[in-house]
A and B are shown apart, each in its own frame.
Chain A
Amino acid sequence: MKDPEKYLEQLKAKGLDPEREARFREELAGAREISVSDRRGPFPDFSRGLYAWHDLAVLQDQERVPNPYQLHMKALDELLERDRQREKDGFPRKIRVGRLIKPGKGGKGKIVVVPSTEEEKFLHDPTIRPPGEGGSTGGSGKGEEGEVIGEQKVRETGEEPGQGPGQGEGEAHEMGASAYELGRVLTEQFQLPNLKEKGKKRSFTRYIYDLTDRNRGSGQVLDKKATLRKIVETNISLGNLPDPADMDPTRFLISPRDKVYRIFSQEKDYEPQAMVFFLRDYSGSMAGKVTELVATQHVMIYSWLLYQYAGQVESRFILHDTEAKEVPDFDTYYNSRVAGGTEVASAYKLVNEIVEKENLAADYNIYVFHGTDGDDWDTGGDKSIPELVKILTYVSRMGVTIAEHAGTQWTEVARYLENSGLLRDKPDLLRMDIMHEDAEEARVIEGIKRLIS
Chain B
Amino acid sequence: MELINQHTKAIMEGCKERARAAGLSFTDESLEYIVTNRDLIELSPKVMIPTLYDYWVHDVEVLRGKGEYELYPHNPYETVINTRPPISFYNDNNPDWLNVMIFYHVLGHIDFFQNNLYFRHTWEYDFTGQALSDKRVIAKLRAEKGRWVDYILEFARSIDNLVGYHDELSPLFMAPETATSSRLDYYFDTFLQVEKKLPVGEYLKEVARYNDAIAQNREEGERIFFAEVTAKYPEMEAHFAKSQNVKRVERRDLMKFLIENSEFLARDENQWMRSVLEVVRKTSIFFQPQIRTKIMNEGWASYWHEKLFLVDDRIKGHEVDFARVHAGVTSMPRVGMNPYALGMRLMYQLKENGDKGKTGYEFNRLSDREERKRFDAASGKGDEYLFKIRSNYCDYLFIKDFVDQEFTDRYDLFVTGKRLDPQRMVWQYYVKSRDANDYRDMVLASLYHPPYIEIAPERGEEGMLYLVHHFEGKQLVSEYIANTMVGIEYLWGAPVQLETSEAVIEQQRGSAGREGVEEPEITWQRVVYTMKDKVLSRQIL
Contact mask A128-144 → B, CB, 8 Å, 1/0? 11111111111111111
Contact mask B443-464 → A, CB, 8 Å, 1/0? 1001111110100000000000
B427–A134 CB distance below 8 A = yes
Out of A26, A50, A91, A151, which one reaches B446, CB within 8 Å?
A50
B78–A54 CB distance below 8 A = yes
- A435 → chain B closest CB, angstroms: 16
Which of A65-73, A192-200, A263-271 sits within the interface?
Answer: A65-73
CA distance A123 to B69 in the complex (A): 10
Contact mask A49-79 → B, CB, 8 Å, 1/0? 1111111111111101101110111100001
Which of A39-47, A238-246, A295-303, A445-453 sits within the interface?
Answer: A39-47
- A309 → chain B closest CB, angstroms: 27
Q: Tell whether A124 pairs with B475 under 8 Å between CB atoms, given A73-B59, A139-B416.
A: yes
CB-CB < 8 A to B453: which residues of A? 122
Residues 144-159 of A contacting B (Cβ, < 8 Å):
144-155
- Determine the residue in chain B with the shortest Cβ distance to A58: B329
B334–A141 CB distance below 8 A = yes
B89–A79 CB distance below 8 A = no
Out of B59, B65, B335, which one reaches A150, CB within 8 Å?
B335
CB-CB < 8 A to A35: which residues of B? 65-66
Residues 92-142 of B contacting A (Cβ, < 8 Å):
94, 98, 101-102, 105, 109
Is B366 in the interface zone, CB < 8 Å from A?
no
A120–B483 CB distance below 8 A = yes
Out of B68, B476, B498, which one reaches A124, CB within 8 Å?
B476
Q: Tell whether A30 pairs with B67 under 8 Å between CB atoms, given A50-B295, A51-B291, A73-B60.
A: no
B442–A122 CB distance below 8 A = no
Is A99 in the interface zone, CB < 8 Å from B?
yes
CA distance A340 to B152 in the complex (A): 45
B70–A146 CB distance below 8 A = no
Is B166 in the interface zone, CB < 8 Å from A?
no
A29–B451 CB distance below 8 A = no
A138–B416 CB distance below 8 A = yes
Is A170 in the interface zone, CB < 8 Å from B?
no
Is A188 in the interface zone, CB < 8 Å from B?
no
Is B402 in the interface zone, CB < 8 Å from A?
no
Is A419 in the interface zone, CB < 8 Å from B?
no
Is B521 in the interface zone, CB < 8 Å from A?
yes
A151–B62 CB distance below 8 A = no
- Determine the residue in chain B with the shortest Cβ distance to A41: B427
Contact mask B129-163 → A, CB, 8 Å, 1/0? 00000000000000000010001001001111110
Which of B243-251, B337-345, B373-381 sits within the interface?
Answer: B337-345
Contact mask A248-264 → B, CB, 8 Å, 1/0? 00000000000000000
Q: Tell whether A122 pairs with B161 under 8 Å between CB atoms, given A89-B151, A130-B521, A151-B428.
A: yes
CB-CB < 8 A to A146: which residues of B? 430-431
B430–A141 CB distance below 8 A = no
- Determine the residue in chain A with the shortest Cβ distance to B162: A122
Out of A72, A91, A117, which one reaches B63, CB within 8 Å?
A117
- Determine the residue in chain A with the shortest Cβ distance to B408: A140
Residues 473-522 of B contacting A (Cβ, < 8 Å):
474-484, 486, 498, 503, 505, 507, 509, 512, 519-522
CA distance A115 to B63 in the complex (A): 10
A138–B147 CB distance below 8 A = no
- Determine the residue in chain A with the shortest Cβ distance to B443: A138
Out of A68, A117, A122, A140, which one reaches B62, CB within 8 Å?
A117
A153–B451 CB distance below 8 A = no
CB-CB < 8 A to A151: which residues of B? 426-429
Out of B91, B419, B481, which one reaches A62, CB within 8 Å?
B91
A50–B94 CB distance below 8 A = no
CB-CB < 8 A to A116: which residues of B? 60-63
Residues 94-124 of A contacting B (Cβ, < 8 Å):
94-96, 99, 101, 114-124
B335–A92 CB distance below 8 A = no
CA distance A294 to B297 in the complex (A): 43
Out of B60, B78, B161, B419, which one reaches A79, CB within 8 Å?
B60
Is A15 in the interface zone, CB < 8 Å from B?
no
Q: Tell whether A82 pairs with B503 under 8 Å between CB atoms, given A55-B80, A60-B91, A67-B61.
A: no
- A262 → chain B closest CB, angstroms: 55
CB-CB < 8 A to B451: which residues of A? 122-124
A125–B486 CB distance below 8 A = no
CA distance A89 to B109 in the complex (A): 45
Is B41 in the interface zone, CB < 8 Å from A?
yes
Out of A51, A147, A149, which one reaches B335, CB within 8 Å?
A149
Out of B35, B89, B448, which one reaches A51, CB within 8 Å?
B448
Is A218 in the interface zone, CB < 8 Å from B?
no
B336–A45 CB distance below 8 A = yes
CA distance A57 to B65 in the complex (A): 20
CB-CB < 8 A to A74: which residues of B? 59
CA distance A320 to B158 in the complex (A): 39
CB-CB < 8 A to B66: which residues of A? 35, 125-127
CA distance A65 to B521 in the complex (A): 41
Is B235 in the interface zone, CB < 8 Å from A?
no
- B521 → chain A closest CB, angstroms: 6
Q: List 15 A-B contacts (CB under 8 A).
A: A29-B520, A45-B336, A55-B109, A89-B151, A91-B151, A92-B486, A95-B60, A117-B61, A117-B62, A123-B451, A128-B503, A130-B522, A133-B420, A139-B416, A149-B416
Supply 7 further A-B pairs (C-beta < 8 A) apart from A43-B334, A43-B416, A45-B337.
Answer: A49-B69, A57-B77, A121-B158, A129-B522, A136-B416, A138-B335, A151-B427
B interface residues, Cβ below 8 angstroms from A: 35, 37, 40-41, 44-45, 56-57, 59-63, 65-71, 75, 77-80, 89-91, 94, 98, 101-102, 105, 109, 147, 151, 154, 157-162, 291, 294-295, 298, 325, 328-329, 332-340, 342, 411-420, 422, 425-434, 439, 442-443, 446-451, 453, 469, 472, 474-484, 486, 498, 503, 505, 507, 509, 512, 519-522, 534
A-B complex: 8 closest residue pairs judged by Cβ atoms? A45-B336, A134-B418, A55-B79, A139-B416, A43-B335, A51-B69, A120-B480, A124-B474
